[in-house]
Chains A and B, each alone.
Chain A
Amino acid sequence: MELKKLEEIFQHKIDNEIKIEPKDWMPEAYRKTNIRQISQHAHSEVVGMLPEGNWITRAPSLKRKAILLAKIQDEAGHGLYLYSAAETLGISRDEMIEQLHSGRAKYSSIFNYPTLTWADMGAIGWLVDGAAIINQVMLCRTSYGPYARGMVRICKEESFHQRQGFEILYVLSQGTDAQKAMCQDAINRWWWPSLMMFGPTDAESSNSEQSMLWKIKRKSNDELRQQFVDMIAEQVKVLGMTLPDADLKWNETKKHYDFGAINWNEFWNVVKGNGPCNKQRLNARIAAHQNGAWVREAAIAYAEKQKNKHKAA
């Protein structure tokens, strides 16, 4: 079939909300964009285990420790689904991991911020998982089938994480003065980086337009960010805490919250590797991978031996 015809069929599917499946023909750029986005998403789930992992051994109660462990384990599971989804596009997990470790693939910059107190476990669940959900609910309808289906499973768990995070903060907000201060401090530190999770403004976003046309994305960065601000600005009242933005104000005409300017200089610097924990996070992933090399080799060698034994038998 000639290329033009294939492109037509492809766009026809997209326009009619028919999912693109692994065996379908697709433009190379569509494949590449999906690989980039899905693998970046997978890496974010896995690197995202580290900042929360920082508090596993110091969780303040047995119940909290169990919830935190289960939450981080969920994130590992998300990473697995997503690596599998990306693999359907013809890239191996090893290649993706290599790209992460060499710095060619990115992960969400939010995980380059440190977790300094227990309240950060609450703030991450509430704000970071909260921001992720808004993005991921949209992605449940993304045009690439395996990605969309993975997102449906993931979204259920993410909304659970957000509620658990909020609950951690709620308990702190009802606690001692020190706990209240810890709660407010965590919100102050995580608020702006959470807003940055939606990416550059629409005017500056290079990949957005084509992604919208292919229905990889369905809402713009700014739309999603606004949705997040509107949600959190209400929820923070329940905590009796504030968001660190003097310009945050309900706009009756727009029916949305106005909010202050984001520090894009900080955003781009953290993306480029100058955040507080970029090296620490990446080094931890590389170390885990390198220290595990002999284990993976042994598993392969053992499986080979078993196969040969069966053949011989």
Chain B
Amino acid sequence: MQAAKENFLLYLADSTHILSHRNSEWCGHAPILEQDIALTNIALDLLGQSRNFYQYAAELIGNNATEDSLAYLRIESEYKNLLLVELPKEDWAHTVLRQFYFSVFLFYLYQQLQQNKDVQIAAIATKAIKEVAYHVRWSGEWVIRLGDGTEESNQRMQYAVEAYKNFTGEFFVLTNYEKQMQIDFELIQQQWNDKVAAVFNDATLSFTNSNFHQVGGKEGRHTEYLGYILTDMQYLQRTYPNATW
């Protein structure tokens, strides 16, 4: 149980961390200054959540682990994030759609985690769910705006839907450690499907469902992209071992 919990915390920590990282790549480059601020805000919220998970995981793992040793000194195969979040940021359509998929999942997951028997997990989820509710609203509004905007924006959204069609299944293909967490993932899947369908309806988009899912991220098998993210992210910690920043 302890090992499952550690893995589960790392899965959440890594997923929020890597998505924060991808979103932060927009900082200074977004289409509209107001949205630059909004997306950076989301990156900061996710980073904050990942730190809470890392810190708690570090506590359980012991051995002088810290949030930074977990983030900066683990290699690709130790990272447990969803494949979806490590994919390149691409254009604004991909970015808001990925955010929407992820935030909706996170929202319903946190809803259950608020009642978790582990009070620390419950506390993290309770604090974070308000942020995630806003992320769902912000990204959902963008999905609708772009879906029902111009012909070009609709087409770009549809491309993004297509690009992610094999990557959303991973939310619900459960690893052993998730199965031990006493979470009703079937309920989350139902809620996720309903929410996505409702927003897609408003966005005049059609959801492409795939029966074949790309999975493995949650167990350390990643795409080619994660290696580059970590090379970049871990550069200072690796180049100057044991330095304090």
Interface residues of A, Cβ cutoff 8 Å to B: 46, 49-50, 53, 56-66, 69-70, 72-73, 76-77, 79-80, 83, 118, 171-172, 174-176, 178-179, 284, 287-289, 291-299, 301-302, 305
Contacts and interface: CB of A to CB of B under 8 A. Distances in A.
B41 A73 contact: yes
Contacts of B67: 62
B170 to A, nearest CB: 24
B148 A305 contact: yes
A16 B152 CA distance: 56
Given A57-B232, A66-B44, A171 B245 contact: yes
A72 B27 contact: yes
Contacts of A296: 31-32
B44 A60 contact: no
B31 A53 contact: no
A298 B27 contact: no
A122 to B, nearest CB: 10
Given A294-B152, A298-B145, A284 B50 contact: no
Contacts of A64: 245
Interface in B41-96: 41, 43-44, 47-48, 50-51, 54, 67-68, 71-72, 91-92
B33 A58 contact: no
Nearest to B47: A66
B243 interface: yes
Contacts of A299: 32, 145, 149
A60 B236 contact: yes
A203 B162 CA distance: 63
A76 B31 contact: no
A295 B40 contact: no
Contacts of A284: 28-29
B28 A294 contact: no
Name which of B28, B29, B47 has the most chain A CB atoms within 10 A of its CB.
Answer: B28
A134 B40 CA distance: 28
A297 B92 contact: no
A73 B45 CA distance: 13
Contacts of A65: 24, 47
Interface in B221-243: 229, 232-233, 235-237, 240, 243
Interface residues of B, number: 49
Given A62-B67, A66-B51, A294-B152, 4 more contacts: A56-B25, A60-B237, A69-B24, A172-B245
A298 B150 contact: yes
A36 to B, nearest CB: 20
Contact of A292 (B92, B152, B240): B92
B153 A175 contact: no
B146 A175 contact: no
Nearest to A179: B243
Contact of B245 (A49, A118, A178, A298): A118
B245 A77 contact: no
B184 interface: no
B31 A291 contact: yes
B240 A62 contact: no
A215 B48 CA distance: 44
B151 to A, nearest CB: 9
Given A53-B28, A72-B28, A292-B92, A58 B41 contact: no
A69 B45 CA distance: 11
Nearest to A117: B236
Nearest to A47: B28
A295 B244 contact: no
B186 interface: no
Given A175-B243, A288-B28, A297-B150, A69 B33 contact: no
A70 B50 CA distance: 16
Contact of A179 (B30, B31, B240): B240
Name which of A61, A77, A79 has the most chain B CB atoms within 10 A of its CB.
Answer: A61
A118 B24 contact: no
Contacts of A295: 31-32, 35, 92, 146, 153
Contacts of A73: 27, 36-37, 40-41, 44
Contacts of A289: 31
A288 B41 contact: no
A288 B24 contact: no
B236 A118 contact: yes
A79 B47 contact: no
A174 B35 CA distance: 38
Contacts of A178: 240, 243
